[in-house]
């Protein structure tokens, strides 16, 4: 799968490089001949797209390296680093174009549009639309953020080129030069795209919340396993596109043997890997009281106490050990609650006051997945 993905990314990027170099060459020549900063800015944008595709190829090749002793999880995250470099190039191209456009506004110069100019711009628009559709489609097929970003960028380029065409037509019909102002508009769009791409790349490197649908589906499939009462604390670490390693906690009855729990754990690992390509390398176990009705009633009472407080998202992993006189469970408090520690302390004190004979082990968990 990795080799196939790499081939698709490289092939698509090469097509994008060749297309953008040809477009950049024609637009630059026409832009200089027509003395149009808007067309030259468009050419610079195409050239930055070609450079971005080259970096995408390099990143994909490096990310495809096999894991080794120093990097046992592989090199997949290199793609996020190259995406950041691409984003910086896009931002630089936008800032450079903006500076040149402002200079043209301050010191205006005559432009000289021709039929050839208009034809080149129109061809560029058509090519960019087709290229955008193709690159974005391939990016989604192989889950490549770089390709999806390149495809979206191509669409934006086509739309911006329409504004260049419009300014040329207005000049030819009304003899009003708007091309420097269109150059500013182009630059602002390019800068905005660069900033958004940087933000996305940084988010991926920092680590972001698991996609809601993926998290819910994994938990739903985990609880389908016999004797699993609940699935919680799903943690997935992303080591590159489609490379997830993680852990999860499950609740099982306290009547099960170690062998039975081991079988459940192995089945879950295998099923989730086969269906989602996600490796759950750790499955934590919460034992659920099932034999003592009194304990079950205490659990219900504590559940009510916990959820009487504002911001409680979840309570799980409840277990009462009558021999050691301990009550253990986890709670999750919404990030929107400013002082989560204060809520935790209030819950702890209220339960401890009511169940003085027991030692409390309440873990303040983090809302890491839906």
Strand spans (E) along the chain: 230-238, 244-253, 278-288, 312-321, 326-333, 359-365
* 77-86, 120-129, 291-300, range with greatest mean pLDDT: 291-300
In the chain, residues under CATH classification 1.20.1510.10 are 2-206
Query: Is-contact 97 187, C-beta < 8 A?
Result: yes
pLDDT in tens, 298-327: 999 999 999 999 999 999 999 999 999 999
Confidence at residue 337, expressed as pLDDT on a 0 to 100 scale: 92
CB 336 within 8 A of CB 312: no
Which residues make up the CATH 3.30.70.1350 domain(s) of the chain?
212-365
Report how far residue 231's alpha carbon sits from residue 286's, in angstroms, rounded to the nearest whole number: 10
Taking 3-state DSSP, the helix, strand and coil percentages for the chain, each rounded to the nearest 5, stand at 65, 15, 20
User: By three-state DSSP, how is residue 15 classified?
Assistant: helix
As a whole number of angstroms, the distance between CA 370 and CA 163 comes to: 43
pLDDT band at 242 (very low <50, low <70, confident <90, very high): low
At 144-167, the pLDDT tens digits run 777 887 787 788 778 778 877 888
Output the CATH code of domain 212-365: 3.30.70.1350
Q: Which residues pair with 329 in a beta bridge?
A: 362
What's the whole-number mean pLDDT along residues 348-369? 94
To which residue do tokens 């106490």 refer? 305
| Rg, Å, the chain Cα set | 29
- Both structure tokens of 65: 């390296």
The residue-averaged pLDDT of 337-345 equals 93
Terminus-to-terminus CA distance in the chain, angstroms? 28
Say what the pTM is. Answer: 0.67
Mean pLDDT value of segment 95-101: 83
pLDDT at 2: 62
Bridge partners of 282?
247
Q: Give the pLDDT confidence score for residue 170 in this predicted structure.
A: 87
Average pLDDT, the chain: 87
**Rounded distance between C-alpha atoms, residue 307 and residue 334, angstroms:** 12
Taking domain 2-206, whether its CATH number is 1.20.1510.10 is answered by yes
d(CA 240, CA 65): 12
The helix or strand, by DSSP H or E, that contains position 57, with its residue range, turns out to be: helix 37-63
Task: For residue 17, give every residue at least 6 positions away whose Cβ sits within 8 Å of its Cβ, in sequence order, or none.
Answer: 50, 53, 54
The token pair that represents 144 in the structure block? 């490549």
Give the DSSP letter string of 286-346: EEE--S-HHHHHHHHHHHHHHHTSTTEEEEEEEEEETTTTEEEEEEEE-TT-S-HHHHHHH
């Amino acid at each position: 799968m990795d080799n196939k993905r790499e081939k698709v990314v490289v092939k698509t990027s090469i097509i994008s490089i060749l297309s953008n170099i040809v477009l950049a060459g024609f637009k630059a020549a026409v832009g200089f001949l027509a003395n149009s900063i808007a067309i030259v800015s468009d050419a610079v944008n195409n050239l930055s797209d070609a450079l971005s595709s080259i970096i995408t190829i390099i990143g994909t090749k490096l990310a495809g390296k096999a894991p080794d002793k120093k990097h046992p999880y592989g090199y997949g995250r290199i793609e996020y680093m190259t995406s950041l470099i691409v984003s910086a190039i896009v931002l630089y191209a936008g800032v450079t174009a903006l500076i040149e456009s402002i200079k043209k506004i301050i010191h205006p110069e005559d432009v000289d549009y021709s039929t050839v100019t208009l034809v080149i711009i129109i061809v560029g628009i058509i090519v960019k639309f087709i290229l955008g559709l193709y690159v974005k489609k391939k990016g989604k097929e192989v889950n490549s953020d770089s390709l999806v970003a390149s495809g979206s960028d191509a669409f934006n380029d086509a739309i911006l080129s329409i504004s260049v065409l419009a300014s040329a037509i207005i000049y030819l019909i009304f003899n009003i030069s708007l091309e420097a102002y269109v150059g500013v508009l182009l630059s602002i769009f390019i800068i905005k795209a660069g900033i958004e791409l940087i933000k996305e790349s940084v988010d991926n490197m920092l680590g972001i919340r698991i996609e809601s649908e993926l998290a819910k589906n994994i938990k739903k499939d985990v609880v389908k396993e016999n004797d699993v009462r609940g699935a919680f604390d799903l943690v997935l670490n992303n080591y590159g596109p489609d490379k997830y390693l993680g852990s999860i906690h499950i609740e099982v009855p306290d009547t099960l043997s170690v062998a039975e729990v081991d079988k459940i754990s192995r089945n879950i690992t295998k099923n989730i890997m086969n269906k989602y390509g996600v490796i759950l390398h750790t499955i934590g176990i919460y034992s659920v009281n099932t034999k003592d009705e009194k304990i079950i009633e205490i659990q219900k009472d504590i559940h009510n106490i916990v959820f009487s407080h504002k911001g409680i998202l979840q309570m799980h992993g409840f277990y009462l050990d009558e021999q050691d006189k301990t009550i253990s469970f986890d709670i999750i408090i919404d990030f929107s609650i400013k002082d989560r520690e204060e809520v935790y302390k209030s819950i702890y004190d209220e339960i401890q006051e009511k169940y003085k004979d027991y030692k409390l082990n309440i873990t303040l968990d983090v809302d890491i997945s839906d």
